[in-house]
Homo-oligomer: A and B are copies of this chain.
Amino acid sequence: MATNRRERQREATKTEIRDAARAQLTAGGPNSISLRAIARDMGLTAAALYRYYDSLDALVEDLCADRYDALTTEVLAARENGATPLDQLREACRAYRRWALRNPHEYALICGEPVIGTVHDHVESNPKGDAAMRFTLAFLEPFTAVWHARTTPPQPLVPGVAEALSGPNVETLRQALPIEGVAFFLIGWTRLSGAITMEIFGHLRWATDDTEPLFEQNLEDMLRQLTL
């Protein structure tokens, strides 16, 4: 390749920028990431960074997808620690929480406020959304195995759920699970993410300092309900 060396250089610089941004994120949270500070750390001008990213927002979004993937990698690795699918699922959930506790600011970046009506035309590439989906799917395989080992039929669905879960992106789930399983999976994912988010964001600190037993209780309740 002719341009290969050039492009490798470019990619290396981009990585250096992301690393500098990550250092600021770890130190002071998402809002304290600053282009000028990154440039200062790297020994160049703020304007130079615009050769690599269109804006601060674009850089932050890239960083967000990057961190999402780091989390996904760790969750996938934790699955190996379980002998049965149920254990794999439990270990994946615990790894998720541990990562969030270890990297609270990165978790805040991942989980915090898009909020807006950013309808995001699904045509354009959406690296953050893709990373979010990859992460969610890291739980799907063991969940599916546990689900199919259920002994009793699931509770009937509330009217409207089946119709709501018919979008193009749930196809991956529908291939692996019946509609009741898809609903359970999404609700469970909401429950897991919600529990961790509440904990990281400090919304449980008024009640207790030692939040781990409560998480374990929550997790076991969830898994018991899943296995019936």
Contact = CB atoms under 8 A, between A and B. Distances in A.
A67 to B, nearest CB: 14
B186 A207 contact: yes
Interface stretch (A14-22, A73-81, A192-200): A192-200
Contacts of A115: 29, 104-105, 107-108, 200-202
Nearest to A109: B113
Nearest to A192: B194
Contact of A164 (B31, B161, B201, B213): B213
A160 B202 contact: no
B170 A216 contact: no
A191 interface: yes
A157 B215 CA distance: 12
Contact of A217 (B104, B113, B183, B218): B183
Nearest to A185: B207
Given A220-B158, A221-B187, A201 B114 contact: yes
A113 B201 contact: yes
B218 A164 contact: no
What copy number does this chain have within its complex?
2
A187 B218 contact: yes
A214 B132 contact: no
A7 interface: no
A133 B190 contact: no
A214 B225 CA distance: 17
A160 B111 contact: no
B164 A212 contact: yes
Nearest to A159: B213
Contact of A165 (B116, B129, B186, B207): B207
Interface in A151-181: 155, 157-161, 163-167, 169-170, 173
Given A107-B115, A115-B200, A132-B203, 12 more contacts: A105-B116, A112-B112, A115-B201, A136-B206, A155-B224, A160-B213, A164-B214, A170-B208, A187-B221, A191-B191, A193-B194, A194-B195
